[in-house]
Copies of this chain bind each other. A is one copy, B any other.
């Protein structure tokens, strides 16, 4: 459990960095960058918890998440060029992050007593809605609506977790396997430029 808590803080930190760096091309100041880092890091979990009426919100009840974000934003301010060069590393971290937060989101929703169908949506929301809210606020079309396999990988992984869960696969194994499934879908679809069909 301590490992999980540590990973949550690290995930929040990474999301804050990638959020702060995401608006580099637009006109903005450091405050705007910090704000988007913050929104990216807390947006998904906040939306999930509001929809499920689960209070206090994680970052309001536990101030450590706020400090993870602050450190992430300060890192983005201090080493923007260095961190931007790490784009490939970040893609890896971001993929790891959305996989991890998807599965934790599914578990949290289940623990609040909702049906699996709802838990799957909540898992995906936890992972991707922070970025969606950030993109919407900064007048950008969210990645979700672009061709990349992104949110759909999370949804697939969430459903995968729920299926294994219904077969009583032990939690630790399920957690690991489902995270790997999400990462694999995302990585392979990027590598082979796969995308879901369009609607026309």
Q: Is the CB of A33 within 8 A of B199?
A: yes
Q: Given the known inter-chain contacts A114-B60, A151-B35, please indicate yes or no for A24 contacting B199, CB distance below 8 A.
A: yes
Complex contact A56–B53 (CB within 8 A): yes
Interface residue stretch chosen among A94-102, A136-144, A161-169, A173-181:
A136-144
Which of B76, B115, B141, B155 touches A139 (beta carbons < 8 Å)? B141
Contact A198 B144, beta carbon cutoff 8 Å: no
Question: Beyond A35-B151, A199-B77, is A28–B63 a contact (Cβ under 8 Å)?
Answer: no
- CB pair B35–A144 under 8 Å, yes or no, is yes
Q: Are B139 and A20 in contact (CB under 8 A)?
A: no
A79 to chain B, nearest CB (A): 11
A20 to B200, CA, bound (A): 12
- Copies of this protein, total: 3
- Interface residue? A146 (CB, 8 A): yes
What are the interface flags for A30-57 relative to B under an 8 Å C-beta threshold, 1 for contact and 0 otherwise?
1111011000000000100011110111
A170 at the A/B interface (Cβ < 8 Å)? no
- Near B by CB (< 8 A), chain A positions 129-157 give 132, 136-142, 144-147, 151-152, 155
**Are B199 and A66 touching (Cβ within 8 A)?**
no
Whether A139 contacts B140 in the complex (CB less than 8 A), given A29-B198, A63-B118, A197-B29, comes out as yes
| A31 with B137: CB separation less than 8 A | no
Q: Is A3 an interface residue (CB 8 A)?
A: no
Can you report 30 residue pairs joining A to B where beta carbons are below 8 Å apart? A21-B199, A24-B199, A27-B145, A28-B199, A29-B196, A29-B198, A29-B199, A30-B196, A30-B197, A30-B199, A31-B144, A31-B152, A31-B196, A32-B146, A33-B199, A35-B144, A35-B151, A36-B145, A46-B51, A50-B50, A51-B57, A52-B60, A53-B55, A53-B56, A63-B115, A66-B117, A80-B200, A137-B145, A138-B145, A139-B140
